[in-house]
Homo-oligomer: A and B are copies of this chain.
Amino acid sequence: MKQPKVTVVDVAHAAGVSKSTVSLVLQGSSLVNEATRARVGAVIRELGYVYNRGAANLRQSKSKIVGIVVNDLTNSFFAELAVGMDMVVQSAGYIQFMANTSENADRQGEVIASMREHGMAGLILSPARGTTAADLRPLVDSGIPVVLVARNVPGLKVSSVVSDGHAGAAAAVRHLIELGHRRIAFLGGFNDTAVFDERMRGFRDALLEAGLDASDELVISSAPSRAGGVAAVERMLAMRDRPTAALCFNDAVAFGACDGLRSARIEPGVDFGVIGFDDVIEAKTAVPALTTVSVDPQGMGRRAAQLLLKQINAGDFDAEAMVAAVRLVVRESCGAPQRVRELTA
């Protein structure tokens, strides 16, 4: 079982040439004679030679490895993101270290350090909650290209690809207003994150633009989860002047909000308008089907990977911020006339 590992020298010896020639063949150089190339190729296959990229990198010091670090792979939004990256990384002939941090910034620091030691050429990071600029500064300063995706880290001069949370939230709110709602809440999400901030500002701007109330009490933050949605909706229902609709931080919160409404005997989509954010897979099949802001995570992942590869290949580069467009997918939970709009979107 334990093969004694064949190297270029073995191949060279077996083919009756020098290791330099074998190296040339490996690189597909045009310098080598056709007959020689064929002979060496045959020997390579015969001996079952496996190229040692580590040894090569040592000399060349530029690897074909990128790092992908994601905060939560069990969330289908981020899984799609990762798959999008995977596609372009693979077809560019690179391979990726990929790690999940479970929103743990310490763990994130460890895996990034480990990837660095292993010689990654660049990193795509969907940062864990609580990631600070200081955490990433050493990496960025070392000159390794870094692309942040989905979430930004304030105070850091690196490239990023994020969705247009402001526009998405505003579009959602405008739609609710159009449906006749006049008092609208924003539910869920931790209010210390950049993503929350952006979506919430979109929410507020759209209200102000329509001359409606946008006071702070309408913004109820909570964990960005189903449970958080339940909690937030409870607090909302306790208000004296109750809203008639809500934009939720993400789809998980929206589902939780629906749960909470039902246990108060309020039917989401009929008695109360609910809109989510992200358009996760379940949004389409839930009851009622969730109106939500669709983000195309796979496309975002692809774009982030393309940006990273571009920066790796360019010796020098500047930080570049990309904002991915979003679109409102109208289904049933907002109480709109059924499905009419989704078809035209």
Inter-chain contact A58/B50, CB cutoff 8 Å: no
Set of chain B residues within 8 Å of A61, measured between Cβ atoms: 5
Set of chain B residues within 8 Å of A98, measured between Cβ atoms: 68, 96-99
Tell me which of B3, B68, B255 contacts A142 (CB under 8 A): B3
Nearest opposing residue in chain B for A53, CB measure = B117
Per-position contact with B for A282-304: 1 when CB-CB < 8 Å, else 0?
Answer: 10011100000000000000000
Measured CA separation A79–B118 after assembly (Å):
25
Per-position contact with B for A81-117: 1 when CB-CB < 8 Å, else 0?
Answer: 0110011001001011111101000010011001111
Set of chain B residues within 8 Å of A55, measured between Cβ atoms: 58
Q: Given contacts A53-B119, A95-B99, is CB(A73)–CB(B65) below 8 Å?
A: no
A331 CB to nearest chain B CB (Å): 15
Inter-chain contact A74/B65, CB cutoff 8 Å: no
Nearest opposing residue in chain B for A97, CB measure = B95
Tell me if A80 is interfacial: C-beta within 8 Å of chain B: yes
Measured CA separation A243–B281 after assembly (Å):
31
Tell me if A54 is interfacial: C-beta within 8 Å of chain B: yes
Give residues of chain A (23-66) contacting chain B, Cβ–Cβ below 8 Å. 48, 50-55, 57-58, 61, 63, 65
A319 CB to nearest chain B CB (Å): 11
Q: Given contacts A95-B111, A111-B95, is CB(A54)–CB(B58) below 8 Å?
A: yes
Residues on A facing B (Cβ under 8 Å): 1-3, 5, 48, 50-55, 57-58, 61, 63, 65, 68, 73-74, 76, 79-80, 82-83, 86-87, 90, 93, 95-100, 102, 107, 110-111, 114-119, 138, 141-143, 255, 281-282, 285-287, 316
CB pairs A–B below 8 angstroms (6 shown): A1-B316, A54-B118, A76-B79, A90-B99, A90-B110, A281-B282
